[in-house]
Amino acid sequence: MTAPHPSPALTSPRPVRKAVVPAAGLGTRFLPATKATPKEMLPVVDKPAIQYVVEEAAKAGLDDILMVTGRHKRAIEDHFDNAFELEQALAAKGDTVRLDAVRDPARLADIHHIRQGDPLGLGHAVLCAKHHVGDQPFAVLLGDDLIDARETLLSRMLDVRDRHQGSVVALMEVDPSQVHLYGCAAVEPTGEDGVVRVTGLVEKPSPEKAPSNYAVIGRYVLDPEVFDVLERTAPGRGGEIQLTDALQDLAAAGTVHGVVFDGLRYDTGDKADYLRTVVRLACERPDLGPEFTAWLKEFVAGLEEDGAGREESRAA
């Protein structure tokens, strides 16, 4: 099968320097903790989840980041700003370690903020970035989807964009019983290891209607033509403007590729996964890991002993 030729607008490569981080969600799965605290600011060990995402973008060379926030999200703006009083107090104490930790978020990139206003879905949040992004390709990183810092997913996606132009999505194989939680992609091989052509996308399909078990996870590199498509995309599932629906239009034109990811990913938007993320990253920290891991082994052993004791009591 012959691949469609890219449209003329896609033939001139442009480096990707901008990223958009949608962070306007209400965080209802974490209530009441998120009643007054943005879900993106929930700590993962000692950094808010969204800082890991910004660090990932900066590491991949994206130095212009727009955060799309909403009401009650001022804490995100404050976190990525300078805190003069706190910095002065730490400097006066000679606490250079904590001083650097406080200054680091503001030094990661050139960070901007815009409010979404009405919570009309991920597609609408991306559309809010149109005037900032302009006619440049850009990345989208979801704030509750963390990719392990040792992975190179975003850099791989940027490379695929450089070679093929168009848009690129991150894909992950999931159990068929889980496809209803994700956007799902129909794909065909490209002959390139770990890279597929996306021929269709469905938002949260039932297992029997899913075109594959390739789920779209929270990393995208998008061509600016996606804005034109989003502007004419009608509200879809849940009455929201779905980014998946817009990408479906682009996929039909043959301009969407997927990078298959099988590395470490943490979903901090789910309570159980959030807890697992904190434990795993804490265990891997050289300053916390040895002590915390030793305690964790004792704790788990105690749980097993308690469980065995209860079984013996019931048997008696």
- pLDDT tens for 222-257 read 999 999 999 998 887 777 888 988 999 999 988 999
Question: DSSP alpha helices (H): ranges in 111-259?
Answer: 122-127, 130-133, 153-164, 225-231, 243-252
Distances from the Cα of 67 to the Cα of 14, 42, 49, 235, 270, angstroms = 22, 16, 14, 22, 21
Q: What's the pLDDT at 307? A: 65
Is 4 a residue whose pLDDT tops 80? no
Mean pLDDT of 208-232: 93
CA R_g for the chain: 22
Q: What's the pLDDT at 9? A: 42
**96-107 helix and 84-93 helix, angle to the nearest 10 degrees:** 150
Residue 105 is which amino acid? P
Total count of residues recorded for the chain: 316
Question: Number of C-alpha atoms within 13 angstroms, CB side, residue 223?
Answer: 29
Is 285 a residue whose pLDDT tops 60? yes
C-alpha torsion sign, points 25, 67, 259, 200 = positive
Is 276 a residue whose pLDDT tops 50? yes
User: Band of the pLDDT at 207, cuts 50, 70, 90?
Assistant: confident
Is 21 a residue whose pLDDT tops 80? yes
Q: What's the pLDDT at 6? A: 46
Residues 6+ apart with CB under 8 A from 176: 207, 210, 213
Q: What's the pLDDT at 134? A: 94
Report the alpha-carbon distance of residue 207 to residue 204 in Å, rounded. 9
Pairing of strands 195-203, 183-189: antiparallel
Lowest mean pLDDT among 32-46, 211-225, 300-314: 300-314
Q: Does 38 sit behind a cis peptide bond, omega within 30 degrees of 0 on the bond before it?
A: no
What percent of the chain has pLDDT above 90? 71
| 81's tokens | 């700003």
**Helix H or strand E segment including 198:** strand 195-203
Greater pLDDT, 210 or 282 = 282
Question: 51, 60, 57: which is closest to 102 by C-alpha?
Answer: 51
| 71's tokens | 């009401």
Q: What's the pLDDT at 312? A: 59
| 308's tokens | 């065995």
Report the alpha-carbon distance of residue 151 to residue 135 in Å, rounded. 29
Q: What's the pLDDT at 1? A: 41
Residue 186 has a CB neighbour count (10 Å cut-off) of 17
Q: What's the pLDDT at 7? A: 44
User: Band of the pLDDT at 154, cuts 50, 70, 90?
Assistant: very high
According to DSSP, residue 97 is labeled H
Report the alpha-carbon distance of residue 25 to residue 141 in Å, rounded. 14
Q: Residue 49 in 3-state DSSP?
A: helix
Q: What's the pLDDT at 11? A: 44
Q: Report the Cα–Cα distance between both ends of the chain, in Å, rounded.
A: 69
Chain centroid to Cα 165, Å, comes to 21
User: Band of the pLDDT at 308, cuts 50, 70, 90?
Assistant: low
